[in-house]
Amino acid sequence: MPMIRRPRRLRSSEAIRRMVREHHVRTEDLIYPMFIMFGEKKKIPVSSMPGVYNYSLDEYIVALKDVVEAGIPAVLLFGLPESKDETGTGAYDPHGIIQEAVRLTKKHYPDLYVITDVCLCEYTDHGHCGVIQDGRVLNDPTLKLLAQTAVSHAEAGADMVAPSDMMDGRVGAIREALDEAGYTDIPIMSYAAKFASAFYGPFREAAGSAPQFGDRRTYQMDPPNGNEAMIETALDIQEGADMIIVKPALAYGDITYRTKEQFGLPIAAYNVSGEYAMVKAAAEKGWIDEKRVVMESLVSMKRAGADLIITYHALDAARWIKEEQS
């Protein structure tokens, strides 16, 4: 039998490989997460995430220059408050760290798209994403505080809010509060499929948000569950989510694929802190080729169906994409 089909024909040179390439990571797809705190002239490295820092507001504005010049269209902001308390008042303080950071960003870079993470865990002294009573995270009383947080971000000038707490009904509560306050045009990107993942470890160091007792398994999803992610996503869409996040990204490509197939709305894959830390650690040891591993990981998220990628690699990726093009 002569071999008529030879798939290798379309792999024989870089030219043809480029021509038949199905997916691309574009700089426009990237969202860069940043951690901001009060104080001056502080740029504190996060030890488990080389290249990632906690910035004071002035240093944050300096760092934004690179982000904007790299062509990255959006940032996702996380705040480290001055002090923490039981109900996370720093999260919805009109002069809280995120509210100040958003105002400052818009003053310096009005066209940069500013997305804010809406959650309480960085602001509560117990480190949970909601209000606590008798060691349990209360759902419904937390909704009001999340809604208040989202509105305060919108008031400061945020372009989009991203609730990451995983309380039931929070997208609806936030939508209603935003609409009531006149922010009908501010979209919600919900962390709809957010799993109780061990991959968030380095983030909790960066944000100082590790739970002081227990874990997040009563609100974040159980990693083995795929169908449950579809239910969570359907609920968030019903409640008014404009876009959804799948988180983490790398071990959850099936979830990205299924949500895209089933719902079709824009999806952001969150390439989380632990995924970043693993690549950085192995690259530092010289065990992997960092650039190739990062770009292969990011394009796998696009192949799975993600439209956008939230990643700490964004600055490097933008540089590598530019080099490829020139």
Asked if residue 216 belongs to a known ligand binding site, the reply is: yes
d(CA 85, CA 88): 5
252 lies in the binding site for ligand PBG (CB under 6 A) = no
Cα separation values, 46 from 35, 37, 50, 51, 127, Å: 10, 13, 7, 8, 18
Q: What are phi and psi of 133, to 5 degrees?
A: -140, 130
Decide if 311 contacts 30 (C-beta within 8 A). yes
Range in contact with ligand PBG (rule: CB under 6 A) among 18-26, 201-209, 261-269, 317-325: 201-209
Strand partners, 221: 195
Range in contact with ligand PBG (rule: CB under 6 A) among 22-30, 60-68, 202-210, 291-299: 202-210
Binding mask 256-295 for ligand PBG (x = CB under 6 A): ----------------xx----------------------
Asked if residue 219 belongs to a known ligand binding site, the reply is: no
Write out the H or E segment, with its range, that includes residue 171. Answer: helix 170-180
Asked if residue 273 belongs to a known ligand binding site, the reply is: yes
Tell me whether residue 194 or residue 258 sits nearer to ligand PBG (CB atom): 194
Tell me whether residue 26 or residue 204 sits nearer to ligand PBG (CB atom): 204
Give the shortest CB-207-to-ligand PBG separation in angstroms: 7
Asked if residue 297 belongs to a known ligand binding site, the reply is: no
Give the shortest CB-279-to-ligand PBG separation in angstroms: 13
Q: How many angstroms from the chain centroid is the CA of residue 99?
A: 18
Interacting residues with ligand PBG between 87 and 126 (CB under 6 A): 117, 119, 121
Asked if residue 119 belongs to a known ligand binding site, the reply is: yes
Q: Which residue has the tokens 């040891």?
A: 285
Q: So which residues are the catalytic ones?
A: 194, 247
Return the residue nearest ligand PBG (CB atom): 203
Give the count of alpha carbons within 13 A of 155, CB side only: 16
Instruction: Decide: helix, strand or coil at residue 168.
Output: coil
Q: Helix 57-69 and helix 97-108: axis angle, to 10°?
A: 50
Cα separation values, 160 from 71, 96, 213, Å: 19, 17, 31
Decide if 272 contacts 199 (C-beta within 8 A). yes
Write out the H or E segment, with its range, that includes residue 75. Answer: strand 74-80
Q: Which of 53, 200, 219, 320 binds ligand PBG (CB under 6 A)?
A: 200
203 lies in the binding site for ligand PBG (CB under 6 A) = yes
Write out the H or E segment, with its range, that includes residue 191. Answer: strand 189-194
Binding mask 128-157 for ligand PBG (x = CB under 6 A): -x----------------------------
Range in contact with ligand PBG (rule: CB under 6 A) among 17-25, 198-206, 255-263, 284-292: 198-206
Q: Which of 48, 56, 99, 164 binds ligand PBG (CB under 6 A)?
A: 164
**Residue numbering of the annotated binding site for Mg(2+):** 232
Q: Which residues here bind ligand PBG, judged by CB under 6 A?
A: 117, 119, 121, 129, 164, 200, 203-204, 209, 216, 272-273
